[in-house]
Structure 1
Amino acid sequence: MKKRTKSTITAGIVGTVSYVLLHQENRRKIKEMGSQLISKIKGNRKKKIPKKVGHPSPYDTHDNTMVSEGSLYAIKKYNEQQQNKNGKVLS
């Protein structure tokens, strides 16, 4: 039973692919899609380095604000955990 099912599915796939590739235009489209897929896969492996890395500019106020908010969030969470450990009630 399994052999018959596999054979039927395989024959269906081969027939469909043969029919699609019968015309030159369809073959060209499939080649283009394949090359685009390969280029996307290879392109994703190369990580692009963001322009803003390292030390922030003191004149970039938006970036500096985000950094300060982020650091305060971690400190606030740490303080809350410490207060919960000590049994103090948060107000």
Structure 2
Amino acid sequence: MKRVLSMGSLLAVGVGASAVWLSNKPNRIKAETFLRDLKRKVMPTVYEKSEKLPIEKGGHPHPHDVEDNKMVDEGAMYSVKFYNEKMQ
């Protein structure tokens, strides 16, 4: 008869093994160094991807860009109209 290990038991074994391994100070230092280096390697790539978003004109529209100004104006009027209808 086959015995099948459940995910819970495998997780418990993993947590126990890591607790035993981290009980020694040199191993804790190794783990901290590894995680710190991993964070330094991963985080710049996350920031690079977020800076490459296609934001060309965020914040303040150009005064001579009629299409964009019209869209901003219509958006403002929608919220004012909605508020006025709610209050009446």
Same fold by TM-score greater than 0.5: no
Normalised to the residue count of structure 1, the TM-score between the two structures is 0.42
